[in-house]
Amino acid sequence: MNGFPEAEWLIVDRGYDVDWSREPLIEKGTKPYIPGHKSRKKTVKYDKRRYNRRNRIEKIFSGLKDWKRVATRYDRSSTVFLFAIALAATVTFWL
């Protein structure tokens, strides 16, 4: 945890819900927004609205990976590549 930069809050998946990772964050002054496992006996409070906004960031990275596919031309077929470019142009124009 010492290698982490200082942050006001940290949002991660429930897979990181362990007490030994929460305590150093709280001591550093970082608020952990980690939902508890369903099998956890003691419930953990977190800001659900802020945690759900994490999904927006994941969608942005997913979109960047899709555009990388077009830019690096992973598709071997010229027809599929042309379709990917047309689709990317349509989505960009529509947004």
Determine the pLDDT at residue 95: 63
User: Where does the pLDDT of residue 44 fall: very low under 50, low under 70, confident under 90, or very high at 90 and above?
Assistant: confident
Q: What is the mean pLDDT of the chain?
A: 76
| Residues 14 and 41 occupy one common structural domain | yes
Domain span holding position 63: 56-94
How many domains is the chain built from?
A: 2
First to last CA, the chain: 39
Q: Is residue 4 part of a domain?
A: no
Is the domain of 48 the same as that of 66? no
Q: What is the pLDDT of residue 57?
A: 73
47 with 70, same domain: the answer is no
Interior CA angle at 26 toward 1 and 52, to 5°?
A: 90
Domain co-membership, 34 together with 61: no
3-class state of residue 3 by DSSP: coil
* Residues present in the chain in total: 95
Distance, in Å, from the CA atom of 35 to the CA atom of 13, rounded to the nearest integer, reads 7
pLDDT tens-digit profile of 45-89? 777 888 877 777 777 677 767 766 666 666 667 777 778 777 877
Q: Are residues 18 and 44 in the same domain?
A: yes
Cα separation of 56 and 32, whole Å?
18
pTM: 0.51
